[in-house]
Amino acid sequence: MFSLRTADLRKLNSLTKYPSIPTHHRLDPKNGGLVEEPAVFTGTVLGTEKVDGTNGRVVLLPDGTWLIGSREDLLTASGDVIHNPALGIVDALRPVADRAAGERDAITVLYLEVYGGKQLPAWRQYGSGEPALRLFDTVTIGPDLLAWDLAKISAWRQDGGQPFAGEPALREAARAFGVELTPRLFEIDGGGLPAGIAGMRAFMESYRVTRVATSGEPGANEGIVLRTPDRAVITKARFQDYDRTLKRRAAGR
């Protein structure tokens, strides 16, 4: 039977880390700029706002306990008196963890963007410093995978082994756990996405203003996340990547 007290926290951390999302146009490793090689989407593409905050995760465990982590590290567990205050993640996510706690058959992980708090660089884009959160992914993982060694878990995760929920199940998770999703911006056919870098940047401009401001005049978001409804393909299009690439092109003329 699973128990947090006896679990290997290094394995739990690796098992539940969020993977890196590739850029929609491939990054050139030599200079960090984008190249004219976009990801190929067939069928429906769902565009969601890429909120400019920090990744947090709530790890709900079979024995009814929970962990809260940043993208890389576990920051606290249920019952801890002291926690790591990094970027306000624990303070923002503890109410979600407490509300969602309960015995279950598997490990459920909620991935949420924590944004708007004054500990975060882009907080002024969202209001006067009130921290907020939005759910952007969730995954359910069998605890039997903790029997693997750390290297195998890491390789499984990096190879895309985590079975992320598709859009219908993600919407249901948001409802069940009482959290809101990152804004859904559009649904289009994959053929409707501009192929070129300049065209993609122009397409993105219509979605520049955030839809999750907590107060005041909404500022700029970080970009767009593009995904298929089943999440088999997912990419990110960040304004800074496109602007930097186009600026370099203009300077080189």
Give, for all 253 residues of the chain, the pLDDT tens digit: 787 888 899 999 999 999 999 999 999 988 889 999 999 999 999 999 999 999 999 999 999 999 999 999 999 999 998 898 989 999 999 999 999 999 999 999 999 999 999 999 999 999 999 999 999 999 999 999 999 999 999 999 999 999 999 999 999 999 999 999 999 999 999 999 999 999 999 999 999 999 999 999 999 999 999 999 999 999 999 999 999 999 998 887 5
**b/e sequence 180-197, b meaning 16+ C-beta within 10 Å:** ebbbebeeeeeeebeeeb
Whether the CA torsion 170, 219, 95, 82 is positive or negative: it is positive
Which residues, in sequence order, are bridge partners of residue 187? 46
Look up the pTM and report it. 0.95
End-to-end CA distance of the chain: 65
Non-local CB neighbours of 29 within 8 Å, separated by 6+ positions: none
Q: What is the pLDDT of residue 108?
A: 98
Non-local CB neighbours of 218 within 8 Å, separated by 6+ positions: 125, 126, 209, 210, 211
Whether the CA torsion 45, 51, 56, 57 is positive or negative: it is negative
| Token pair 């070129």 in the structure block, residue | 196
